[in-house]
Every structure is written in C-alpha cells, then in structure tokens.
Amino acid sequence: MQCNGEVDTFCAAIKETMTKLVKYLVFAFNLLFVIAGLAVLIVGIVIRAAYNEYFEFVPDGIFTTPRILIAVGLITFVVAFFGCCGAIRDSRWMLFIFMVALGFLFILEFSAAIAAYVMKGSISESIKNKMDSSMDNFDKEGKEGVTRTWDALQADMHCCGVDNEVGFLDWGTRFNFTNTSPNVTVPSSCCMKVSNDVEEGVCPMPEEGSFVVTISQKDAGEDLWKIGCYEKLAKGMKENVGAVAGAALAVALVEIVGIVLSYLLYKEIGSRYETV
C-alpha cells in the first residue's frame, strides 16, 4: 500500500494498522502452528508405539508416515522461532527462511498424506500375507521375534490364528492337526486363561521353555479365543493410517495460511524500505 503526498496521516494510519494486523496474524498462526506440530508429534509417536510390538506383521513402509510426522513435529518448534522473530524484528531474511521452511514442510506432509492414503488400500493383503507366512516360524529357534509378536497380538486382541472362523485351526499347519484331530496344539497366548489348576475354560501351563499348549479339541471351544486376529489388526491399522494421513493433510493446509501471511508481511516490510 503506497501513500501519496508528504503528509497523509490517514493513509499512514491505515498502513500501520494493516501491518500490525498482519503481524498479529503471523503470531496467531505460529501459536496454531506449534499446537498443530505438537499434535502431529504425539500422533506420530502414539502410532509408532502402538504397532511396534507387531512389527513382524506391519507392512513395509507403514512406519514412514509416523516417522515423518515425528520429524515435522520436532522441526515445527525451530520453524516457529523464525516466524515469531521475523515478525517482531521486521526481519525479511527470517521471514524468508520461515516461508521456505513452511513450503518444504508442506510438500513433505502432503506427500506423506498421499502415501498413507495409497497404502491404506493395500494394507489388508500385506498384513494377511505376513501373518500366514510367519506362522511356520512360531516357537522356532532363531525366530524369537515372530513368537513374541504372535503372543503379544493374540494376548492383546483376544484372538487366535489368522482368519479362520475357528481361529485355532489356523495353527494346524504348524503343529500338524486338523479339525478331526483329538488334540490341538496352539500358542499359549490363544488361551483365555492359563493355570496349573485343571478346570473348565482354563489351559494347562506350558512346559518350561515352551510357548505352546496341547489340549483336547472338544475343550478348545471353551478354552481358546475363537476369533482370528487378522480382521482386528487390519481394521485398527487402517483406521490409524487414515488418522495419520488426515493429521498430515490438516497441518499441510494450515501451513498454506502461514505462507500467505508471511509473504504479506515480507512484502510490507520491503515496501517500507523502498519508501525510505
């Protein structure tokens, strides 16, 4: 905004008011930006931690978006510093760095959101393939990670096996039994309860150093979790991937506002130097 004439109090007052307004908006944006950065940092950490125990079943690249959110959340505090200081000190170079950084973060988060939405469509098949292929390695020497992952999943989600209507039958390939076998051998984490006391609805304690139990198939319906784990894990993971993508996209949109406001203040400061 240019004021004509040597003395134009009204025009100068309007110009000063507009400059202050943009400054306050930049401050307000930075506050919102820091809150958003903290939010995505928390989302990234929570999602990363939630599925860390199930790493054997997690599709390749599933942790990429949460890692990006964690990085963005940390970088946000540094970027916000340049925005606030640039506005306070009328520093064009700090505002320029602020705009460039926001542009970089926008591209990063927008790309992460798109990648997450694309991955959401193929996540179910990938999880199922990993679960099916890992069953043969349960309770095998050198495959302790697989054993721990299956035990954590089945105990946490109260499920057994992959997606069979009678979940424990999925373990038949690994432990050589069928739906007509008198006994079944399954991970102890498939049991609703494990105890040394022999009673209905309770599995016996596994032998020392073992992670499996053997019970009669007629008791399996009362002693074991019936539902397979695949549907529960896939549904929860797809929901969380969607939440991560939504958070990344929301912050990316907020950053566009920051770029526009910073540019307006950047130009206003520049026009003042030009008229001096």
Any idea where the domains of the chain sit in the sequence?
A: 5-135+240-275, 140-229
pLDDT of residue 7: 47
Return the H-helix or E-strand segment holding 275.
helix 230-275
This prediction has a pTM of 0.71
Q: Closest Cα partner for 167 from 223, 238, 206, 234? A: 223
Structure tokens given for 153: 């999943």
DSSP codes, 127-166: HHHHHHHHGGGTT-TT-HHHHHHHHHHHHHHT--SSS-SS
Query: How far is 77 from 75, CA to CA, in rounded Å?
Result: 6
pLDDT of residue 4: 54
Q: What is the mean pLDDT of each run of 10 residues along the chain (276 residues)?
A: 55 71 81 82 80 76 77 84 82 89 89 82 84 89 89 90 82 85 90 75 78 86 86 85 82 87 84 60
CB 218 within 8 A of CB 184: no
Is the CA virtual torsion 196, 198, 202, 203 positive or negative?
A: positive
CB 11 within 8 A of CB 4: yes
Instruction: Calculate the alpha carbon distances from 49 to 146, 210, 257 in Å.
Output: 18, 27, 31
Single-letter residue type at 234: A
Query: How far is 68 from 47, CA to CA, in rounded Å?
Result: 12
pLDDT of residue 84: 83
pLDDT of residue 12: 66
Is the CA virtual torsion 104, 108, 113, 117 positive or negative?
A: positive
pLDDT of residue 274: 56
**Average of per-residue pLDDT values in the chain:** 82
- Residues sharing a CB contact under 8 Å with residue 61, sequence separation 6 or more, in sequence order: 115, 119
pLDDT of residue 151: 92
Is the CA virtual torsion 236, 237, 242, 244 positive or negative?
A: positive
pLDDT of residue 100: 92
pLDDT of residue 275: 54
Return the H-helix or E-strand segment holding 204.
none
